[in-house]
Amino acid sequence: MTQHRTNSSKNRFTALSETDTSPSNNHNSNNHKQVNDLPQKSADSHSDINNKSNSSSVCFNRSYSSIFSPNPEKARAEQFFLLWAIFWISILFYIVYSQWFETFTPYHYLTLGLVLFLFPTVFPVLLPSLFLSAHLPISRRYTTKANLYIAILSWIANYFWTHYFYTVLHATYTFKAHRLNDVPIALYMITHSYFHLYHVLSSIMMRFIWRHVPTKGKARYLYVLIIVIIMSYAVAFLETFTIQNFPYYDIPDRHAMYVYGSMFYGIYFIVSFPMFARLDETANTWNLSETFVDSMACCMIVTQLLDFWRISIGHVTDAPASNPVQQSVPFVY
């Protein structure tokens, strides 16, 4: 079992290309049915489940298998997070477009945050059959591990990394809200849905490039690196640009925010996109402790890169913050 898990770990990223897109008939359907009935008690049964999970990827047609994970459980979760994004983006668009936020109290923001955090977290637990994971304990399900990974990223991003925006870009949140470490608590939870969307889209793009570039070897890694950098900057820019009509995120220098702030924000994703994509890519091989450690390692890498920016480049605007925050993170100020 140790050898099996070691080999799986080594091949998590390179396995992005190992998808069986050829259709099979009843054999794979029977395999998937058998997976649901297998116990999780021995190394043999665990290995058998992983093999059958791979063969079950034909549950998705060619159009799905060309962009979604070859692991059917992960592929179903990716589709869910994309569908969920349509819903929560519509909610936020209506709130901003109608200026409903002008009537919000701290409890309204908190309620909104709870919805955007709890639904993608609790729904897969309540209806695991929709995610092809009813046969697995909660701790072994991909949705559990994905939510843990994203929750850690969201927590660190708000508790620590937001303060880099306060110092490097002089941006501040001015709406009335319950706060933790001078960051609105609602944002800790809203970020959860945002990051799920970003990481699903990035995984799809990396997977597509990996499978369709004409070259192999190191050149393929270069193509993936380029797409990661482009997506990281694009995602950071689009988020910053789309919230410009929300007046309570004060940005004293919008040009600096769009150009340099997007570059700074993109550092998050240059690290997290490829690291998150490895999670259960071809089969259910990660456990919760591995997921926790990997996510924390990702956050530590990002934190160091942000601090290198702070001590080497420093702030990118001389425009003063309209509502300066008090020193909260010693090594940031």
- Comparing 27-36, 121-130, 232-241, the range with the smallest average pLDDT is 27-36
As beta bridge partners, residue 183 has: 180
* Alpha-carbon distances, residue 224 vs 151, 237, 277 (angstroms): 25, 20, 12
Can you give the length of the chain in residues? 333
Q: What is the mean pLDDT of residues 49-53?
A: 42
Nearest to 169 by CA among 309, 321, 305: 321
| pLDDT tens, position by position, 262-294 | 999 999 999 999 999 999 999 999 999 999 999
- Give the Cα-Cα-Cα angle 310, 294, 282 (nearest 5 degrees): 130
pLDDT of residue 263: 95
What mean pLDDT is predicted for residues 232-253?
Answer: 91
Q: What is the pLDDT of residue 65?
A: 52
Give the end-to-end CA distance of the chain in Å, rounded to a whole number.
48
Distance CA 207, CA 282 (A): 12
Task: Mean pLDDT check: name the lowest of 32-36, 97-101, 106-110.
Answer: 32-36
Provide long-range contacts, Cβ within 8 A and 24+ apart, for 79-85: 80/120, 80/123, 80/124, 80/130, 80/131, 80/143, 81/120, 81/196, 81/197, 81/200, 82/197, 82/200, 82/201, 84/119, 84/120, 84/193, 84/196, 85/193, 85/196, 85/197
What are 179's strand-pairing partners?
Answer: 184
CA 234 – CA 269 distance, rounded (Å): 10
Of 86, 84, 101, 107, whose CA–CA distance to 245 is shortest? 101
Query: Does residue 45 register a pLDDT over 70?
Result: no
Task: Please state the rounded mean pLDDT for residues 306-311.
Answer: 93
pLDDT band at 134 (very low <50, low <70, confident <90, very high): very high
Structure tokens at 208: 């597509």
pLDDT > 70 in the chain, percent: 78
Q: Let me know: does 256 contact 317? Beta carbons within 8 Å.
A: yes
Alpha-carbon gap, residue 117 to 316, rounded angstroms:
32
DSSP annotation string for 161-184? IHHHHHHHT--EE-S---EETTEE
Give the residue carrying structure tokens 């694009």: 234
Say whether pLDDT at 166 is over 50: yes
Half-sphere exposure of 1 (CA within 13 A, CB side): 11
33 has a pLDDT exceeding 60: no
Three-state DSSP state, 38: coil
